[in-house]
A = this chain, B = another copy of it.
Amino acid sequence: MAENFSCSHKNGGDGNHGRACVTLVPIFNHLTTEQMDEIMEVVRTRSYKKGELIYRAEEPSNALYIVNRGQVKMYRLAESGKEQLVRLLSPGDFTGELALFKQSVHEAYAEAVVDSEICQIRSDDLQGLLVQYPTISLKILTEFSRRLETSEKQTTSIATEKVETRIALFLAECVTEENVNEAAIELPMSRKDLASYLGTTPETMSRKLTEFEEAGLIEQGGQRKLYLLDIDQLLFI
């Protein structure tokens, strides 16, 4: 009983697709209800348990995946066998990569971090939609360029900054409008995953955070909670 179609265009029946499948919004929110209906025809949704793989590297890749609920982590396996977390997908984020535009295989693994719900559109279907609604391409293009931007920044950061700095930069990026005053941030992932993302080890993460705390720059409050006491000084390191 692996499949669970919860994101069909038939559900609800109130015609409000925004509510029926809230996370398609970032890509499709500029379309009319009729157009959404057409898109919903080809959307399939499936649930994944925590730890379950949505796809593996080397598998043929032929669909666009959109996170509807939960959280997904994508990681690569290096020659050395070490894995590196490439990106974290939250509701509304999508993946499928170049899968969409050329026949290919996945380069990374996609794994549900918690129980999740993923919407899926097959490449064949998407191709048609893209030609029909050029604005969708623009949306995806924008997302891709944003992601490329992030990835290159990440590369530069790992290539040129020391671990300490990378961690500090990451913490600073966790500050949003909501918590700017509190300076209380919630880490978006475990320290282990964070280490993998930042190209270091859990041990080093732990040590550096402790150093920051001893220097009075931050305060660690439980599992994933942190208080940034002196952001300026933190970034000055």
Contacts and interface: CB of A to CB of B under 8 A. Distances in A.
Interface of A: 76, 78-80, 82-84, 86, 97-98, 100-102, 107-108, 130-131, 134-135, 137-138, 140-142, 144-149, 151-162, 165, 169, 198-199, 235
Contacts of A158: 155, 158-159, 199
Contact of A160 (B108, B162, B199): B199
Contacts of A161: 78-80
Given A79-B169, A130-B137, A141-B144, 19 more contacts: A76-B153, A76-B156, A78-B161, A79-B161, A79-B235, A80-B161, A86-B152, A98-B142, A98-B146, A101-B145, A107-B149, A137-B137, A144-B144, A147-B148, A151-B151, A154-B155, A155-B155, A158-B159, A160-B199
Those 5 A-B pairs whose CB atoms lie nearest each other, nearest first: A159-B199, A98-B145, A78-B160, A137-B137, A134-B134
A140 B142 CA distance: 11
Describe A's contact surface by its main secondary structure: helix
Contacts of A130: 134, 137-138
15 contacts: A78-B160, A79-B169, A79-B235, A80-B160, A84-B159, A98-B145, A98-B149, A107-B149, A130-B134, A131-B134, A131-B138, A134-B137, A144-B144, A148-B151, A155-B155
Number of identical monomers bound together in the oligomeric complex: 2
Contacts of A80: 160-162, 165
A19 to B, nearest CB: 28
A157 B79 CA distance: 8
A142 B107 CA distance: 15
Nearest to A76: B156
A98 B140 CA distance: 11
A144 B153 CA distance: 16
A226 B9 CA distance: 59
Contacts of A199: 155, 158-160
Nearest to A236: B79
Contacts of A148: 97-98, 144, 147-148, 151
